[in-house]
Structure 1
Amino acid sequence: MARDRSPTNSPPAKSRKDSSTTTIASLGEDILLEIFLRLPCLATLVRAALTCRGWRRAVASSPAFRRRFRQLHPAPLLGLFFNPPGAVQEPGLPALPSFVPTRGTDRDQAAAVRGGDFFLTSLQERPGVDNGWDIEDCRGGYVLLGNGDQLTMALVNPLARRSERFFDYGHEDTREGYRGYGMVHRACLLCSDEDPTSFRVGVRATVFCSDTGEWSVRPWVHIPGKPRRGRGEWWIQNCNMEAKGVLYWVYKNRKCMLTLDTATMDFSVDELPIFLQNRLCSFVVGEMKNGEPCIVYVINFTVGVLLRRTENHGVDRWVLDRAELLETQLGQVLGKVMEDYNKVKVVAVRDGFVYLATLDELSDSRTPSWFLSLCLETMISEKLFQRTYDSSVHPYVMPWPPSLVGNYWRFAPEDGT
């Protein structure tokens, strides 16, 4: 024991911590963001970035990173909303849109859907409003719904589990100066990737701005080339299409398309290519992956893409960019059930993806449709799910949460830095 206490037998030295050791907490923002770029999807990025304040600030303060991430990883489709198929048979029963999630294997995306309110229960809890709702538009993580009986609109954010706003679209301002017979509203959403808390709702040429909480009423304008209809008949199809801040409506005779540039609030009319006037052709205006406006059409199993181009004489026209027969590819994706269908139809176009539904119009079959997505960059299709196709379809694409989009200084006081 004495030997053990001898000053010549000093205790073993404690191992010193290597000051050069790098931990994940000590990574600089540039390296951290490079790591984040390698995450598989937006849902995984959201889960990682919200781990701590520093990581959240790194993403929120870098618009350049968000642009690169969007280019590498398009925002994922979480599912499709379907409007109620018809009028409510029993007034006591709610008529609400239904939601069908995609069957992907990504656990973070599945968790986002499970944590959201895709049953739209916030609408059912609204006192004094009947549950007869139809989706008018669905963009930027918002769902815009209309209640035609009570001339009320609601803006819902399913991922945030709340109704953002209820407002009346039957106020006198929207009808001021109108002398026609009857009036049909066409409501659209205008959203921004870099300002997800801000939105605009357009009804007629009347715009509701979320920043001011007020309606901006535009004067009625003469529409050139408007086809003649009978008294009380509406002359445009019941559809709203948008691409890069421009709204599109197709004439019922399918010869022309009315456009509204929401930046200038100017109307114009484009003549449609002759093959789009074919009643057997379905088409939708949307955006390519880079945001360029496009028209995607389908005739039987042939899918084509038109882009806006300026010709030699300086006139902008829709020009065919590509067309591809998908029958063989869809046969490989769907297998033997492909024999049950004789065509596909375009139901929506979003961010470089077109959403299709299979149909059997020859035998009047009640076979449910298969819904598919088709990447316009690769022209490769993917099977989503099978469901009855009996109403309008609205894709719900995962938005960037407001907590990850904004100027760094906007978040600094909250983070205590």
Structure 2
Amino acid sequence: MVSPAQPTPRRLQSPADLADDALREIFLRLDSPADLARASAACASFRRVIKDHGFLCHYHALHPPPLLGLIARGFVPAQPPHPSAAAARAFAHADAADFSFSFLPSPHRWRRRDSRDGRFLLSGVPDGRGYRRGDLVWITDLAVCDPVHRRYILLPAIPIDLAAAVHQPDIVDFEPFLAPAAEGDKDTSFRVICLAQCAVKLVLFVFSSGLGQWHAVTFDGWSAMITGAGNPASTGAGNPALRSELSQRYYAHRCFYWFIHRRNRLLVLNTSGLEISTIELPRDYTGGEIAIVEDGEGRVGMPSLCRLLPHGMFHLSYTVLQKDGEIANQWQSEELLLLPEKLHYDIVGVAGGYLLLQGIPEGVSLLHPPKNLNLTCFSLEVKTLQLERFCQTNQSIICAELYAGHPPSLSPPSI
């Protein structure tokens, strides 16, 4: 007679394990990374729990990294009294992070292209050559870097058989950017996407760090998307073969968004299934600068800069794309914010739950800035729509990169 199987005895947690579990639950409830960093310095047991890679990944998922500063010719941190100023101060030290990427081989030949989740994507040209028009159309050298831990990965070139998906002379724009890893991948996993825009089609070249290889996805009918016709666009000033039809890229809820010039529409790339679609902009959109942000409950928000006439004051309108019910996929106006006077405004970008605006004194050109240039940047917290002074700088930030992150002591390696 076979005796019934005995249940496997459960290992009882030790008092130390129970104490660590309780500490994790307490530390996960600290909203401020600065408070968490101070707790880590309090004693060895606190530091052991907080420095654990699994804990930090869980904490980062619950508390997205704040906007700490911008990278122009150097790192410009958030300044007091902004809430991010304390965390940004750590990055202002020369040894906290290397945003010049001097740890890369031949660092002078690399150019920043994108950043996400503590990683930066850089493109390079062969040694001994400066950037030329052709270098920006078809890029062969790409590197993903972690400036805090001074690590990098050089990506393999796109294989010739995949590159054959496009006729390179037909490319009007070749845009590389970082995408979130596929769901279920490790915390140090990432994807790089290169969007090749041609006259009649779009091609995505996708590199997955988990697989270590490239694959390509082709979308035909691009001409119909931008012209509203079924045939390729006609030649002339509006010929899409002559220039890019897409504006600055934005990211929200695992999707990328581009404004399609002259069409009053957004191009949407869903990174989960690598599917492309379009969305109509609000009917009352007047043509000002726009951005796409992550609103609460998985919704998409759209701040838009407009100038009020006849006074010339700038305001920021905020609309939300509804996702449920009878008004799904329709834009609903949420807020209208007046901006400080006597300044012209540009949208710098979005990171860490903030929209960053730069205020330019009237009559000043950033193409030919004066020696005593003094720019004020303002941040708009998307969750509360609260506008605050972020920093002042004498640097031109036309091509600045926003940096969102946690203090170096709370930033595990991202690659």
Q: Residues 236 and 122 from structure 1, CA distance in 2 versus in 1: closer, same or farther, beyond 3 angstroms?
A: farther
SS in 2 for 1:378: coil
Unaligned runs of 5+ in 2: 1-14, 126-130, 196-203, 228-232, 308-313
Q: CA deviation at 1:122?
A: 1.8
Does the C-alpha gap of structure 1 residues 187 and 318 become closer, same or farther in structure 2, counting only changes over 3 Å?
Answer: farther
Question: Cα–Cα, structure 1 residues 363 and 155, in superposed 2: closer, same or farther, change >3 Å?
Answer: closer
- The offset of 1:256, in angstroms, is 1.7
Other-structure match for 2:188:
197
Q: 1:215 is aligned with what amino acid?
A: W
Quickly say closer, same or farther: Cα 1:145–1:220, change in 2 above 3 A: same
State the partner residue of 2:89.
Answer: 110
AA aligned to 1:287 is E
Per-residue deviation at 1:393? 2.8
Match of 2:295 in 1: 288
Answer yes or no: is the 8 Å Cα contact 1:78–1:109 preserved in 2. yes
Partner residue of 1:119 out of 100, 104, 122: 100
Secondary structure at the aligned position of 2:89 is classed as helix
Match of 1:175 among 140, 163, 174: 163
Equivalent residues of 1:206, 1:216 under 8 A apart = yes
Question: Kindly tell me: are residues 325 and 217 of structure 1, through their superposed partners in 2, closer, same or farther at Cα, counting changes over 3 Å?
Answer: same
Q: CA deviation at 1:145?
A: 1.8
Q: 1:36 — aligned with what?
A: 27
2:119 counterpart (133, 142, 161) = 142
Of the two, which has the highest radius of gyration?
Answer: 1
- Equivalent in the alignment of 2:249: 240
- CA distance in 2: counterparts of 1:58 and 1:303, whole angstroms: 42
Post-superposition Cα deviations, 1:328-367, rounded to whole Å, max 9, x if no partner, equal xxxxxxxxxx54x2x3222212343111111245565744
Q: Read off the aligned partner of 1:357 and give its amino acid letter.
A: Q
* Count of aligned pairs: 344
| Counterpart Cα distance in 2 of 1:391 and 1:283 | 16
Alignment of 1:334-345 (within 5 A): 339=342, 341=343, 343-345=344-346
Contact 1:304 1:324 in 2 (8 A): yes
Checking the alignment, whether the CA contact within 8 Å between 1:43 and 1:109 is kept in structure 2 is no
Change (3 A) 1:34 1:265: closer
Matching of residue 211 in structure 1 with residue 215 in structure 2: no
1:5 aligned partner: none
28, 49, 72: which one aligns with 1:55: 49
- Paired with 1:236 and 1:354, the residues of 2 have a C-alpha distance of 24
What amino acid sits opposite 1:80 in the alignment? L
How big is each residue's C-alpha offset from its partner over 1:306-334, in whole Å with a ceiling of 9 and x where there is no partner? 2221587676233322222233xxxxxxx
Partner residue in 2 for 1:226: 226
| CA-CA distance at 1:67 after TM superposition | 5.1
Query: Is residue 307 from structure 1 mapped to residue 308 from structure 2 by the alignment?
Result: no
Report the Cα distance in structure 2 between the residues aligned to 1:49 and 1:363, rounded to whole angstroms: 46
Would you say 1:373 and 2:379 are equivalent positions? Answer: yes
Match of 1:76 among 66, 69, 78: 66
Specify the SS of the correspondent of 1:235. Answer: coil
How far is the alpha carbon of 1:57 from its aligned partner?
7.3
Residue of structure 2 aligned with 1:256, choices 254, 260, 265: 265
Describe the shift of the 1:174–1:42 C-alpha distance in structure 2 as closer, same or farther (beyond 3 A). farther
- Structure 1 regions of 5+ residues with no counterpart? 1-23, 83-96, 328-337, 406-417
Secondary structure of the corresponding residue to residue 384 of structure 2 = coil
Distance apart, 1:181 and its partner CA:
2.2
8 Å contact from structure 1 (residues 282, 299) kept in 2:
yes
Deviation at 1:232, TM superposition (A): 4.1
Identity among equivalent pairs (%) = 23
2 CA distance for matches of 1:246 and 1:401? 25
Q: Matches of 1:308 and 1:290 in 2, distance apart?
A: 11
Instruction: Give the match's secondary structure for 1:282.
Output: coil
Match of 1:160 in 2: 149
**In structure 1, what is the Cα distance between the partners aligned to 2:297 and 2:112?**
26
Which one-letter code corresponds to 2:349 in the other structure? A
- Given candidates 330, 338, 341, the residue that maps to 1:317 is 330
TM-score by length of 1: 0.70
Alignment equivalent of 2:282, drawn from 273, 277, 301: 273
Return the alpha-carbon distance in structure 2 between the equivalents of residues 170 and 233 of structure 1: 24
Distance 1:389 1:237, change over 3 A: farther
